[in-house]
Amino acid sequence: MHFYLLENPAAGRGKARAFLDEVTRALVAAGHRVSSYGGRSPADVVSHVGLLQPDDLDVLVIVGGDGTLRTVVAGGDAPPAWPLGVIPVGTANLVARELGTYPLTTPEELATRLERGRPWTVDLLEMRREGRPPERALAAISVGVDGTLARAVAKARKLSRGRGGYDKWLGPGLGVVREFKPTPLEVQVDGGPLRTCASVVIQNAHNYGGLFTLSPDARLDSGRAEIVMLDANNRRDLVRLVLTAGLGRIHRDRQVKILRGRRIRLRAPTPLHVQADGDPAGTTDLDVHVLPAALRLWQT
């Protein structure tokens, strides 16, 4: 089997190379072929994947986090032709948690997991905006509070040249809570009745943010999305919902409504920030469509 390792230029903040060398040695010792490419930028990663032919490899292994994975999934005209594995060196690592490669263990054990993996067909989320080409995401898309937080975290990480994990969330998170002013967001699922909330999470992966599970029924291969609508009216409500999420009970909260569907229409009177797979993804208005069975992952 031919494993092709594709590295985020900031993978592991420069600490992943020795680990990857050990993984490579273990796979080669087991009789597999291993190639690798270290991208210089997200655009370079996308460009390189576009040069690969279907017969060039068997499994494309992303070395990075959810953002790197989304770069590959969303970068071309169509999703990649090969199953995608993940060696998780990001922050939340939502998809790697579901693939069985998070948390990282020894290089030898990780190599064994990759060797014994199997293809897993999953759904994608597609964002559609008027006048713009569609954009894809895998784990989740959210509008409102999480979108604002993702934008603030991205700014903090840019100032620190990409360094930092959850510690970079604390300051921006407190700022988002302090400045929180709910803006009505109109949500329509599968052409049903219009509903209004302050923030919404369209959940595809089971885990959210690496810390929570908002809807316990969320699955990457369910053929539908879990639409979690949060009706926080003030800062106190917002803090309480975060704490409830941490306890795993947010789906039972009186200010939370969960719907399921494939087509989600999102409109707001003023633009609200959007995040996709942990990164800023523009603003409203937009539609989100579930693309069933659109991608293959490498489940270990």
Q: What pTM was computed for the model? A: 0.92
The pLDDT of residue 171 is 76
Could you tell me if 136 and 196 are in contact, meaning their C-beta atoms sit under 8 angstroms apart?
Answer: no
> Hey, where are the domains in the chain?
2-116, 125-293
How is residue 233 written in tokens? 């009216």
pLDDT at 14: 54
Domain 125-293 has CATH 1.10.3470.10: no
Measured distance CA(284)–CA(138) in Å, rounded = 19
Q: Which CATH code for domain 2-116?
A: 3.40.50.10330
Query: Tens digits of per-residue pLDDT, 252-275?
Result: 999 999 999 999 999 999 999 999
Cα angle 163, 275, 167; round to 5: 30
Euclidean distance between CA atoms 49 and 140, whole angstroms: 23
pLDDT tens sequence across 19-37: 899 999 999 999 999 999 9
